[in-house]
Amino acid sequence: MPTPEAAAIATELRTAMGRLTRRVTHEDRIPLGQVAVLGVLDRQGPMTTSDLAADQRVRPQSMARAVGLLMDQELITRRAHPTDGRKSLVELTAAGRAALEAERGRRAGWLAQAIEAELTAEERELLARATGLLDRLAAR
Give the fold, CATH level 3, of 4-139: Arc Repressor Mutant, subunit A (1.10.10)
Q: Is 45 left (phi over 0), alpha (psi -120 to 50) or beta?
A: left
Asked if 95 and 75 touch (Cβ cutoff 8 Å), the reply is yes
pLDDT greater than 90 at residue 49 = yes
Question: Pick from 30, 103, 34: which is nearest to 63 by CA?
Answer: 34
Residue spans of the domains in the chain: they are 4-139
pLDDT for 88-140, tens place per residue? 999 999 999 999 999 888 888 889 999 999 999 999 999 999 999 998 998 88
Evaluate if pTM is beyond 0.75: no
Asked if 66 and 33 touch (Cβ cutoff 8 Å), the reply is yes
pLDDT for 12-32, tens place per residue? 999 999 999 888 877 778 888
